[in-house]
A and B are shown apart, each in its own frame.
Chain A
Amino acid sequence: MSVRHRKTATLMLVVLLLLSVVLGCAKQENTPASTSTNGAANEKSITLSWPRDIGTMNPHVYNPSQLFAQSMVYEPLVSYKQGGKLEPALAESWTISKDGKIYTFKLRKGVKFSDGTLFNAAIVKKNFDAIMKNEKTHSWLGIVGVLDKTEAVDDSTFRMTLKEPYYPVLQDLSVVRPFRFLGEAGFPDDGDTSKGIKKPVGTGPWMLDEYKQDEYATFKRNPNYWGTAPKVDKITVKIIPDGETRVMAFEKGDLDLIYGEGVISLDAFKQLRDTNQYVTTLSEPVGTRSLLLNSSNPKLADLRVRLALQHGFNKQAMVEGVTSGLEETADTVLSKNYPYTNVNLQPVGYDVEKSKSLLDEAGWKLPAGGTVREKDGQQLDFELIFDKTDPIQKAMAETIQAEWGELGVKVNLTGLELTVQIKRLRSNQFDLYFWYNYGAPYDPHSFINVIAKKSFGISEVLSALPMKKDLDQQVYQALSSTDETKRQELYASILKTLQEQSAIVPISYIKKTAVYQKKITNFVFPANRDENPFEGIEIGK
């Protein structure tokens, strides 16, 4: 190498080295406190991880904003608690007119936003107006379709008038988005929050402190909070997209808590539980994993076939085997921790003999020497579509394929990308499909709504049931009824029909997992599936 070449090479190397050092150091000051011992003396803080960035912290929009983070900063008028109990939040009390159309809320007095401004009926109205400006975006939520007008009657009275009675108004108001309240200082000049907000100003117990997109967010206590102040001063959320990395960060002690649905693998959960070094807990059921048997397929239109399929696989063994006992076998489509769902329903048990005789009775016979049942020259075969990135769905699909294969029912498995899978559900292009209900506070009313309302895929699944029209009528009556007893009866009847018809086969109840260091105490899963569990958390030594 000549002297000139050598000089050039050395120079290049020095420049590159300097560049990487500068780039590396430039970020140093932005690193968050990684453990709870950092920061000010005696400051109580916890660090957790989340797979995705917390998002824009806009209370009125959806993805990429994360529900748990939105629920830390913004509050609803009414709060959803255990067993479906509705408790006052920003509304101290409410009255409902006899015809079920007018809701009058008395707002809690003395509530301030985190910037010190007052919470009153005018700001409630302003938030409602901003939300309803984008009505189409929120049309999935029942209340949006029936809301007629809103008024700020006086400083502490807010009134809503509906076009028609709709009983789950309060449940819909308790969901995390969109009906939560942004302070005046957060509104953009044109008032249209769908395009963005100026800053996240809420009335909730927490306020966003530091934020670095894709890296971390820290929340500190809102000094103006009206309720009981949280015991913890600071919550740091580290964004760690990979589940295994999350577990290792926790084992190292960088994280105090891993919480959520599917945030770590079931294997990792079990492994952490078995070390006995941490606390591991499971929530009540937050949703049901079900299998849809599409009755619009002529083969599945026969109740005997649907029942035979439900009797024909060992649900208990499958759920225990695939989820390592972390999900609970489900006998009914909705678990009993929702309002109106504590109904006595007859489970459809595992009974291979019964299954075979039902198939014979329906005319599907095994040909001599054959393995697949036939009728009128047609084979008894179905396509089961599943999300190919979901290991539980895949394992369950394979188990079902094997067990039904023994009965003489051929199942073809098709792994799909989630968006394609959803598309096929909505366009009714499937035989068998894994489906989940919405959880609290959406259910049971959102569940019965999709039974009757087309284009969600579920109404179509039930389309060949002989009593489908009656079912739809009952759903409509239940949603608009103002009589509590009548509503309970209607729910019982709807759930009974669904149980007997076996088109939605309950498999297991999904639960949230939480793993935390032993110094954390008083951890309670929120009753609302989308809310955060930081309310009562305390830190010991």
Chain B
Amino acid sequence: MISYIGKRMVAVIPIVLFATLVTFALIHISPVDPAEAYLTAAHIYPTPEILEQKRHEFGLDQPLLTQYMHTLQRISQLDFGTSYLTNKPVWDEVKVRLPATFELAVSSMLLSIVVSIPLGVLAAMRKNGWIDMLSRGISYFGASIPQFWLGYLLIFFFSVRLDWLPVEGRGTWQHLVLPTLTLSLVLIALYTRLLRSSVLEQLQETYVQYARTRGIRERVIMLKHVLKIAIAPLITSMGMNLGKLLTGTIIVEQVFSWPGFGRYFVEAIFNRDIPVIQCYVFLAACLFIVCNLLVDLVHLYMDPRISSKGRAEQ
């Protein structure tokens, strides 16, 4: 197990290197000069002299390879440079905002698990019954409605009309309710359908028929045998979605004025705050890799038939 984790960690290095290279390349082929972007963001008129000065300051007058090596060296020390907009170290700014995003991602993931597992199982057990129809309705709605629109609808009903919850901001558990609902609905839609079909598939298996003939109660079959296997694709999907949630709460953070990492990133894009963009892409790549690894480890733990040796060699 440990050697498997070790090997996987080593495999992370080229992926991260590739991510940094792609970001670096994208920034350099973009039509806007980073020095000019900095001056525009700072509302300073880019005279040729000051442009020259900034280019030198940012090291943009160095050869590309030197610039890239320098970037790598800094990133390896968790130094993402200084934000063009605020003049503060990017990592310090990110550190402050990550907990807010993390809080939102975790609560959304939890809510989606709590709702979709029973709903998915019940929908499969009562196929074509009212609960199945309900889950289908929720799934259609959740998968098709744009998140920002759902956010507005929830604010309109629960905050403006009913006055139950705050419109925006962060602080109390009440602030967390609407953004969590907005983010988790799409996950609930996905997980419920995934689990339903996976459970239905397992129910056709001979071991279920055998268990039934042995007179084991349906509930026991479901919880002890079927769910254990049926949940595997759900875990894979959750792993990928956790990465997405941690990096993709942008719209929801914007709508609910949630002071997280996503909102910070949006502002960075508008201002061409390149050090921040670089940091975001790097962290996103790392998060996805870590989530992927976690999923594999959970699979390994849940189903010992998967050989860690075999998986590692794949």
Chain A residues engaging chain B, CB cutoff 8 angstroms: 1, 5, 13, 16-17, 19-21, 23-25, 27-28, 30-31, 34, 52, 55-56, 61-64, 136-137, 139-140, 195-196, 212-216, 238-242, 244-245, 248-249, 251-252, 254, 417, 419-420, 422-423, 426, 455-456
Please give me the 5 A-B residue pairs with the lowest Cβ-Cβ distance, nearest first: A31-B171, A140-B45, A62-B43, A214-B259, A23-B103
Q: Which residues of A contact B36 (CB under 8 A)?
A: 419, 423
B267 to chain A, nearest CB (A): 7
Q: Given known contacts A241-B257, A245-B155, A419-B272, is B163 in contact with A252 (CB within 8 Å)? A: yes
| B155 & A419 in contact (Cβ 8 Å cutoff) | no
Task: Tell me the total A-B contact number using a CB cutoff of 8 A.
Answer: 134
- Please pick, from A16, A62, A239, the residue contacting B106 in the complex, using a CB distance under 8 A: A16
| A56 & B86 in contact (Cβ 8 Å cutoff) | yes
Main secondary structure of the interface of B (DSSP, over half): helix
Alpha-carbon gap, A34 to B37, bound state (A): 36
Q: List 7 additional contacts besides A19-B106, A34-B166, A248-B155; criterion CB under 8 Å.
A: A1-B223, A24-B172, A27-B170, A64-B85, A251-B160, A254-B168, A420-B32
| B255 & A136 in contact (Cβ 8 Å cutoff) | no
Q: Which residues of B contact A216 (CB under 8 A)?
A: 169
| B168 & A16 in contact (Cβ 8 Å cutoff) | no
Q: Which residues of B contact A248 (CB under 8 A)?
A: 152, 155-156, 159-160, 167
Q: Which residues of B contact A63 (CB under 8 A)?
A: 41-43, 85, 271
Judged by a CB distance under 8 angstroms, whether B254 is at the interface is yes
Which one of A28, A63, A195 has the highest number of Cβ atoms from chain B below 10 Å of its Cβ? A63
- Please pick, from B31, B45, B228, B255, the residue contacting A245 in the complex, using a CB distance under 8 A: B255
Q: Which residues of A contact B266 (CB under 8 A)?
A: 241
**Count the B residues whose beta carbon is within 8 Å of the partner chain — how many?**
58
- Please pick, from B32, B99, B227, B264, the residue contacting A23 in the complex, using a CB distance under 8 A: B99
The residue of chain A having its C-beta at the shortest distance from the C-beta of B180 within the complex is A20
Q: Given known contacts A136-B47, A214-B264, is B169 in contact with A238 (CB within 8 Å)? A: yes
Alpha-carbon gap, A215 to B253, bound state (A): 12
Residues 155-189 of chain B, each 1 if its beta carbon lies under 8 Å from chain A, else 0:
11001100100111111110110000000000000
| A215 & B50 in contact (Cβ 8 Å cutoff) | no
Judged by a CB distance under 8 angstroms, whether B53 is at the interface is yes
A530 to chain B, nearest CB (A): 11
The residue of chain B having its C-beta at the shortest distance from the C-beta of A17 within the complex is B110
List residues 228-267 of chain B with CB under 8 A from any CB of chain A. 228, 254-257, 259, 263-264, 266-267
Q: Which residues of B contact A242 (CB under 8 A)?
A: 254-255, 257
Alpha-carbon gap, A213 to B94, bound state (A): 12
B60 to chain A, nearest CB (A): 16
Chain B residues engaging chain A, CB cutoff 8 angstroms: 31-32, 36-37, 40-47, 49-50, 53, 85-87, 96-97, 99, 102-103, 106-107, 110, 152, 155-156, 159-160, 163, 166-173, 175-176, 223-224, 227-228, 254-257, 259, 263-264, 266-267, 271-272, 302
| A24 & B103 in contact (Cβ 8 Å cutoff) | yes
Q: Which residues of A contact B228 (CB under 8 A)?
A: 1
Q: Which residues of B contact A28 (CB under 8 A)?
A: 171-172
Alpha-carbon gap, A62 to B42, bound state (A): 5
The residue of chain B having its C-beta at the shortest distance from the C-beta of A212 within the complex is B259
B23 to chain A, nearest CB (A): 18
A67 to chain B, nearest CB (A): 9
- Please pick, from B49, B224, B267, the residue contacting A1 in the complex, using a CB distance under 8 A: B224
The residue of chain B having its C-beta at the shortest distance from the C-beta of A455 within the complex is B47
A410 to chain B, nearest CB (A): 25
Q: Which residues of B contact A195 (CB under 8 A)?
A: 87
Q: Which residues of A contact B44 (CB under 8 A)?
A: 62, 137, 140
B89 to chain A, nearest CB (A): 12
The residue of chain B having its C-beta at the shortest distance from the C-beta of A13 within the complex is B110
Q: Which residues of B contact A1 (CB under 8 A)?
A: 223-224, 227-228
- Please pick, from B31, B50, B53, B173, the residue contacting A21 in the complex, using a CB distance under 8 A: B173
Q: Which residues of A contact B85 (CB under 8 A)?
A: 63-64
B303 to chain A, nearest CB (A): 11
Alpha-carbon gap, A397 to B84, bound state (A): 32
- Please pick, from A56, A139, A196, the residue contacting B50 in the complex, using a CB distance under 8 A: A139
| A240 & B171 in contact (Cβ 8 Å cutoff) | no
| B224 & A238 in contact (Cβ 8 Å cutoff) | no
- Please pick, from B43, B97, B171, B256, the residue contacting A30 in the complex, using a CB distance under 8 A: B171
- Please pick, from B155, B169, B302, the residue contacting A215 in the complex, using a CB distance under 8 A: B169
| A245 & B172 in contact (Cβ 8 Å cutoff) | no
Alpha-carbon gap, A62 to B85, bound state (A): 9
Alpha-carbon gap, A5 to B50, bound state (A): 63
| B267 & A52 in contact (Cβ 8 Å cutoff) | yes
